[in-house]
Structure 1
Amino acid sequence: MAKIKAGVLGATGAVGQRFIEGLKSHPWFELTSLAASERSAGKKYREAAKWRLESELPDDIAEMTVVNVDPREVDADIVFSALPAADAMSVEPAFAAAGCAVASNTSSYRMVEDVPLLIPECNHEHLDIIKVQREKRGWEGFLTTNPNCTTIMFTLPLKPLMKFGIESVHMASMQAVSGAGYEGVPSMAILGNVIPYIGGEEEKCETEPQKILGHFDGERIINANFSISASCHRVPVMDGHTEALWVKMRDNPTPEEVRQAMLDFDPGLDDLPTSPKKALIVKDEPDRPQPRLDRMRGNGMSVSVGRIRSGIRFICMGHNTVRGAAGASILNAELLVKKGLL
């Protein structure tokens, strides 16, 4: 098939660079536009952005001219948004109204009633609400979102546990510094330290999973009926969010039943290029998963789970800027193609 033209909004930032990395040789999408703030617009990308990833910046992308974040300047059928939340509030609807599909990584519209909050392995059927969204808003295009990076890591392993009747979840996170951006946490604040507060993070973790694991009734999404209590912490790790979970379930499954449910989890998305062979990887070693050893499982798209104990308690971990950000939006876009929406 002919490649679909794709643009990145907020292309010079950390997540924007991850989008470029994931799209630069994508079999379905062609990177045709890089958009950023006025101070970057008009410059070659290599001049506008300091490339901070370990992978090489391709010469053809380095030579692309950055444009303004404006539907009239961005040549794309789908745009991947890495914008600040405040900017996204006005910009993302403008692109949807202009006929673009918007795959957003920002928090601005995640909890809006007619906007799907997607983890393809968990709730691909929620894409049906796009018809409602278009009719309600009169848009030619549409808007989809992916969850907070911390939310993604523990919602994926909760999905196969829904059959046991989840009643409550307690979660404590140990989050990498890359989640705050390159200049987000000063080195003297985090080295040899743990910061027991991340603004707005706990609120997102306590509300987003219920929407994701809820069901679409033809008109709206009905949230799943369980409670979440979260405590979020920044730790001196470069990449990879680690989370400890305590899950109370109606059917009181054994650790082995929980382990088997996770091993058997097969969302059937093997035909999507960014989808890992295993969305959930169960580790049986007593000291795994670990960020340095496990964050790049499935090219950074798998979530690793371990230490499944009675209670039910377990640890989960994944790459926060790949699975938790740019990779999540790209996987969402691939699902849009599979569903015939692009």
Structure 2
Amino acid sequence: MTSPIPVTVLGATGLVGQRFVRRLAGHPWFSIAHLVASERSAGLRYAEACTWRAGGPPHAGWGETRLEAIDEPRQATPVVFSALESELARDVEPAFARQGSLVFSNASAWRMEKDIPLLVPEVNPRAIELLDRQKSLRDWSGGIVTNPNCVTAILSLPLAALHRARGLAAVRVSTFQALSGAGARGLFALDALDNVIPHILGEASKISAEMSKILAFEDEKDGPVISASCHRVPVGNGHGMDVSLAFRGATPTVDEASRLLATFRGDDVLGGLPTSPSPPLRVHGLPDRPQHVLDLSDTDMTVHVGNLEPCPVMGLKLYALGHNLERGAAGGSLLNAELARAMGYIRS
């Protein structure tokens, strides 16, 4: 039996870091070797430094583990999962890559670099091959693989399903994003209570740029024009999206679009990955679904789609819902690492 691959989690006390720890506890391929946090938390037990918000057993059984400050040479395991803030990630993640680690990053710092994979395995799995170019250009023995921001990670799946079949020309999306997307201390309670905040700094431009990179790589053409407006809403987890779509050719009927979404699958290699959901998209037939409370589970990697209707302005409209901390963050990054291992970029 092959020994688990040791991994390091950077930013282990934050909301995304906690989700990494929960998912890695008992993972069949990976095993936690280092939990890394700020200088302030270093030396503390994980249970002392971290208010656990990820569900499941408290601290996923790692509560007695002592947290470490960043020390790249000592913590450069074959795989590193990064839940760092982007400013810190810009310096720390390359330091691990130079030490030989393959870093799977949730940060935005490196996403738009031409030689850095911006990866959603069901949508653009060949982007992992950019690691070969990255290593030669940057002279790193390791590398960096990024997942997109939480909205893009979720929305890319239904868009890819329709784009492959019919070709998308334009996308208009309004998001309804959970409070957890702002981080544990992102909003004061009174800002969020009974309120909708109609702007999230920098979010709309990230969605447009990142989605275009992902979809253009997927079909080797220019992706659709994308316009996004972003709202913070008073729900704990789960990002919803109201989407209108224009197509390059004939607009699919609602039945055709439902079939394309329901039958969407990624590459065959995804079937053997522990975190890969089957199916990746679930189409809901009732007009008032999907809903956070009824349809989204606490560790959900599936993207839920419903309320498909003709759109008199664009052509077709739908509503998508996904878990921002799972599909949109830690789960998506772990799935990227599983794909990298399956494609031979991580040695057992």
TM-score with structure 1 setting the length: 0.95
Counterpart for residue 142 of structure 2: 141
Where in structure 2 are the equivalents of 1:143-292 lying within 5 Å?
Answer: 143-162=144-163, 163-215=165-217, 224-251=222-249, 252-267=251-266, 268=268, 269-292=270-293
1:324 paired residue among 310, 324, 328: 328
Contact 1:5 1:75 in 2 (8 A): no
Contact 1:303 1:318 in 2 (8 A): yes
Contact 1:304 1:318 in 2 (8 A): yes
- TM-aligned CA deviation for residue 53 of structure 1: 2.5
- Give CA deviations for 1:165-186 in whole Å, capped at 9, x if unaligned: 1100000000000101121111
- TM-aligned CA deviation for residue 223 of structure 1: 6.1
Percentage of pairs with the same residue: 43
Number of residue-to-residue matches in the alignment: 337
- TM-aligned CA deviation for residue 337 of structure 1: 0.7
Counterpart for residue 44 of structure 1: 45
SS in 1 for 2:89: helix
Contact 1:294 1:318 in 2 (8 A): no
Alpha-carbon distance between aligned partners in 2 of 1:154 and 1:318, rounded to the nearest angstrom: 8
- TM-aligned CA deviation for residue 232 of structure 1: 0.2
- TM-aligned CA deviation for residue 225 of structure 1: 3.0
- Give CA deviations for 1:272-322 in whole Å, capped at 9, x if unaligned: 00011110000001100111122228x410000001111210000001111
Counterpart for residue 67 of structure 1: 68
Alpha-carbon distance between aligned partners in 1 of 2:44 and 2:120, rounded to the nearest angstrom: 35
SS in 1 for 2:23: helix
Distance verdict in 2 for CA 1:324–1:134, change over 3 Å = same
One-letter amino acid of the counterpart of residue 110, structure 1: R
Alpha-carbon distance between aligned partners in 1 of 2:84 and 2:253, rounded to the nearest angstrom: 43
- Give CA deviations for 1:116-135 in whole Å, capped at 9, x if unaligned: 00000000011111100000
Alpha-carbon distance between aligned partners in 2 of 1:223 and 1:164, rounded to the nearest angstrom: 13
Alpha-carbon distance between aligned partners in 2 of 1:2 and 1:103, rounded to the nearest angstrom: 20
Alpha-carbon distance between aligned partners in 2 of 1:74 and 1:293, rounded to the nearest angstrom: 41
Runs of 4+ in 1 over 2 A off after TM superposition: 57-60, 221-225
Gapped runs of 5+ residues in structure 1? none
Gapped runs of 5+ residues in structure 2? none
Alpha-carbon distance between aligned partners in 2 of 1:223 and 1:16, rounded to the nearest angstrom: 35
Distance verdict in 2 for CA 1:215–1:52, change over 3 Å = closer
SS in 1 for 2:72: coil
Q: Does residue 25 in structure 1 map to residue 26 in structure 2?
A: yes
Counterpart for residue 302 of structure 1: 302
Contact 2:82 2:103 in 1 (8 A): yes
SS in 2 for 1:31: strand
1:340 paired residue among 314, 321, 344: 344
- TM-aligned CA deviation for residue 60 of structure 1: 5.0
Contact 2:173 2:229 in 1 (8 A): yes
- Give CA deviations for 1:208-228 in whole Å, capped at 9, x if unaligned: 111111237xxxx96633200
RMSD (Å), alpha carbons: 1.5
SS in 1 for 2:333: helix
- Give CA deviations for 1:236-257 in whole Å, capped at 9, x if unaligned: 1111100011010022221111
Alpha-carbon distance between aligned partners in 1 of 2:188 and 2:43, rounded to the nearest angstrom: 31
Q: Single out whichever of 179-188 and 330-339 deviates more from structure 2.
A: 179-188
Alpha-carbon distance between aligned partners in 1 of 2:177 and 2:217, rounded to the nearest angstrom: 29
Contact 1:191 1:236 in 2 (8 A): yes
SS in 2 for 1:64: coil
Counterpart for residue 13 of structure 1: 14
Alpha-carbon distance between aligned partners in 2 of 1:214 and 1:250, rounded to the nearest angstrom: 14
Alpha-carbon distance between aligned partners in 2 of 1:79 and 1:23, rounded to the nearest angstrom: 12
